[in-house]
C-alpha cells in the first residue's frame, strides 16, 4: 500500500510561530509609531491585482515580472497576480481615489505579505513581509533624504547596529538613454564573460546587468561606466541636494555608483540600507549582500499607469531580514511592562473579590496580573516575583471576612493591612511616589 505522505508547507513559505510573533509586532509597532510621527497614514491595497499593473508599472523586463510573479487566471478569465511589491498597487489606488486633490504630498504606509517566486535561500523567501512607505506628489530632494532618514531611524530604534545607507542616482529620461548606450557598448565588448541572463539584459535593459548577483558579472560591473558621471544638470543638482540633506541630518551613507535596483520605474535617487556585519570579510567566498531596506524615486510611474505625472519617492524594509538581524545582534527589549500589582488569593470568596478588584484596576489603567487558577500562596508569590510586580495584594479568608487586604511591597517585603474599599486609593498613592 502506498505510504501516506504528510502535506508539507510550500517551498519558500514559512509559518510564523508564537515565539516569532513578538518580533513581527515589535518591528511593525516601532515602524508604525515612527512613520505616524512623520505624517504618514495607513493604506491597505488588495493582495490580488491585475497582472498588467505590474507588467506596466514594475516593468515587463524586470525579474519580478518575468520570473517571480505568481499569476493566476480566474474563472471569469481575468489574469491576476499576487502582489510582488507594494508601489504599483498604491500608485493605482492614488489614481483610483483621485488623491491628486488631497493636500500634497500624500504620505502613505502599508505592511503585509508579498510573493515572489525566487530561489529560496537565507533572507530570501517566496512569501515575505515588508513595511512600505510612499510619498507621492512632490519631487523635492529633501523628501528623498527624509525618507531615507525615516528608514534609518526605524532600524536604529529597533536597536540594530552597524547600519549603512548605499545611495546612487540613476538619472531620468533626459540623461539615461545616453548612459544606457555607453553601458551597452561596454557590456557588448565583454559579453562572453557575462552570465546568460545578463547577455539578454544587455539587449533589453543594460542597467539591470549592474544589479546582477553573479560574481563573474559583478567583476565586469566594477569597471563599468558610472551613472553619476553622466547625469544631466537637473539630476545632478537633485542628487547633490539629497546628499547635502543627508549630511545635515547625519545619516551615514556611502555612494555606490553601480546601485540600480531591480525595478524599471526608478528615476534619480536609489538607495539600499545594509548592516555592515553582513559584509564580505577577507578570505570569505563571494556572497551577495543582503539589503535590509531599499527604495528610490519614481517620478514617471503615475504617468505610466495612465495618470498625470507626479513626483514620488518610496521604499520598504524587509521584515524577516530585520528580524533575523535582531536575533543575530541579540537585540533585547522590554516586551510587556511589569505588572504594577499582583492579586494573590486564597479560597473561593477571595477569588470573587479578586475578580472584582482586577476590573477596578483595569478601569484605573493600572497593570495587574493574577493567577486565579492557583490555590497555593507560595506559588502565587513566586509568580508575582517572576513577573516583577511592584506590589502584591493578598486576599486570604481572614481578610475577606474582615473586608481588608494585605499590601506587600515586593522590593522591601514590608506588609500593611488596609480596608478593601480603600485599596485602590492606597495603591495609586504608592505608585505615584
- Beta strand 341-345 with 391-395 is parallel
**Of the candidate residues 35, 135, 194, 294, the single one contacting ligand AMP (CB under 6 A):** 294
Q: Per rule CB under 6 A, is residue 116 in the interface with ligand AMP?
A: yes
Query: Which residues ranging from 216 to 255 are in contact with ligand AMP (CB under 6 A)?
Result: none
| Stretch near ligand AMP under the rule CB under 6 A, chosen from 14-22, 96-104, 117-125, 356-364 | 117-125
**Residue 318 binds ligand AMP, judged by CB under 6 A:** yes
- Does 202 bind ligand AMP (CB under 6 A)? Our answer is no
321 binds ligand AMP (CB under 6 A): yes
Whose cell is 548605499? That residue is: 166
Q: Does 209 bind ligand AMP (CB under 6 A)?
A: no
Non-local CB neighbours of 223 within 8 Å, separated by 6+ positions: none
Nearest to ligand AMP of 318, 339 (CB atom): 318
# binding residues, ligand AMP (CB under 6 A):
16
The correct pick among 299, 320, 370, 399 for binding ligand AMP (CB under 6 A) is 320
- Of 128, 151, 179, 253, the residue at the interface with ligand AMP (CB under 6 A) is 128
Cis amide leading into 78 (omega within 30): no
Cβ–Cβ < 8 Å for 130, 317: yes
Of 364-423, binders to ligand AMP (CB under 6 A) are none
Residue 69 in the binding site for ligand AMP (CB under 6 A): no
Residue that the C-alpha cell 504620505 belongs to? 107
- Under the binding rule (CB under 6 A), the answer on residue 124 touching ligand AMP is yes
Closest CA to 313 of 43, 108, 61: 108
Of 91, 175, 292, 395, the one binding ligand AMP (CB under 6 A) is 292
Which residues, including other chains, have CB under 8 Å from residue 312's CB and lie 6 or more apart?
Answer: 91, 105, 134, 135, 136, 137, 138, 139, 297, 298, 299, 301, 302
In the bound state with ligand AMP, the residue whose beta carbon lies nearer, of 99 and 293, is 293
Return the number of the residue (206 or 296) whose C-beta is nearest ligand AMP: 296
Which lies closer to ligand AMP via its Cβ, residue 143 or residue 366? 143
Grid coordinates standing for 405?
Answer: 487586604
**Gap between the Cα atoms of 165 and 377, Å rounded:** 55
112, 127 Cβ separation under 8 angstroms: no
Nine cell digits for residue 279: 559584509
Stretch touching ligand AMP by CB under 6 A, among 197-205, 251-259, 318-326, 391-399: 318-326
Q: Are strands 312-318 and 293-297 parallel, antiparallel or unpaired?
A: antiparallel
Least distance from ligand AMP to the Cβ atom of residue 195, Å:
20
Question: Can residue 163 be called a binding residue for ligand AMP (CB under 6 A)?
Answer: no
What span, in angstroms and rounded, lies between the C-alpha atoms of 433 and 30?
Answer: 30
Pairing, β 106-115 against β 41-42: parallel
- Chain residues that interact with ligand AMP, rule: CB under 6 A: 85, 116, 118, 123-125, 128, 130, 291-294, 316, 318, 320-321
Amino acid at each position: 500500500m502506498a505510504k501516506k505522505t504528510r502535506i508539507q508547507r510550500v517551498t519558500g513559505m514559512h509559518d510564523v510561530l508564537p515565539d516569532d510573533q513578538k518580533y513581527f509586532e515589535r518591528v511593525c509597532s516601532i515602524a508604525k509609531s515612527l512613520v505616524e510621527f512623520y505624517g504618514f497614514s495607513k493604506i491597505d491595497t488588495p493582495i490580488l491585482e491585475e497582472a498588467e499593473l505590474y507588467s506596466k508599472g514594475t516593468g515587463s523586463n524586470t525579474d519580478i515580472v518575468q520570473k517571480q510573479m505568481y499569476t493566476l487566471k480566474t474563472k471569469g478569465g481575468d489574469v491576476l497576480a499576487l502582489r510582488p511589491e507594494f508601489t504599483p498597487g498604491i500608485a493605482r489606488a492614488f489614481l483610483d481615489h483621485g488623491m491628486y486633490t488631497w493636500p500634497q504630498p500624500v504620505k502613505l504606509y502599508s505592511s503585509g505579505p508579498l510573493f515572489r517566486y525566487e530561489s529560496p535561500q537565507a533572507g530570501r523567501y517566496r512569501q515575505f513581509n515588508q513595511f512600505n512607505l510612499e510619498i507621492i506628489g512632490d519631487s523635492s530632494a529633501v523628501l528623498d533624504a527624509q525618507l531615507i532618514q525615516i528608514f534609518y531611524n526605524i532600524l536604529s530604534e529597533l536597536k540594530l547596529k552597524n547600519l549603512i545607507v548605499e545611495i546612487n542616482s540613476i538619472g531620468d529620461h533626459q540623461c539615461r538613454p545616453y548612459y544606457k548606450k555607453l553601458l551597452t557598448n561596454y557590456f557588448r565588448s565583454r559579453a562572453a564573460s557575462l552570465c546568460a541572463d545578463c547577455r539578454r539584459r544587455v539587449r533589453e535593459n543594460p542597467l539591470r546587468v549592474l544589479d546582477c548577483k553573479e560574481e563573474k558579472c559583478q567583476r565586469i560591473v566594477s569597471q563599468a561606466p558610472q551613472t553619476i558621471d553622466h547625469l544631466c544638470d537637473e539630476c545632478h543638482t537633485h542628487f547633490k541636494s539629497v546628499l547635502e540633506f543627508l549630511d545635515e541630518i547625519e545619516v551615514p551613507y556611502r555612494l555606490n555608483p553601480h546601485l540600480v535596483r531591480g525595478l524599471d520605474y526608478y528615476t534619480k535617487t536609489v538607495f539600499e540600507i545594509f548592516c555592515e556585519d553582513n559584509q564580505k570579510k577577507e578570505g570569505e567566498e563571494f556572497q551577495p549582500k543582503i539589503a535590509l531596506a531599499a527604495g528610490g524615486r519614481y517620478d514617471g510611474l503615475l504617468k505610466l499607469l495612465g495618470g498625470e505625472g507626479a513626483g514620488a519617492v518610496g521604499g520598504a524594509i524587509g521584515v524577516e531580514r530585520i528580524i533575523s538581524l535582531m536575533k543575530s545582534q541579540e537585540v533585547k527589549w522590554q516586551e510587556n511592562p511589569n505588572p504594577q500589582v499582583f492579586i494573590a488569593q486564597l479560597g473561593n470568596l477571595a477569588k470573587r473579590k479578586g475578580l472584582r478588584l482586577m476590573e477596578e484596576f483595569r478601569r484605573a489603567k493600572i497593570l495587574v496580573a493574577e493567577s486565579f487558577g492557583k490555590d497555593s500562596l507560595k506559588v502565587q508569590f513566586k509568580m508575582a516575583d517572576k513577573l516583577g510586580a511592584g506590589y502584591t495584594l493578598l486576599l486570604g479568608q481572614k481578610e475577606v471576612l474582615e473586608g481588608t487586604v494585605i499590601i506587600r511591597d515586593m522590593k522591601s517585603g514590608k506588609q500593611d493591612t488596609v480596608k478593601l474599599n480603600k485599596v485602590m486609593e492606597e495603591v495609586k498613592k504608592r505608585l505615584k511616589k
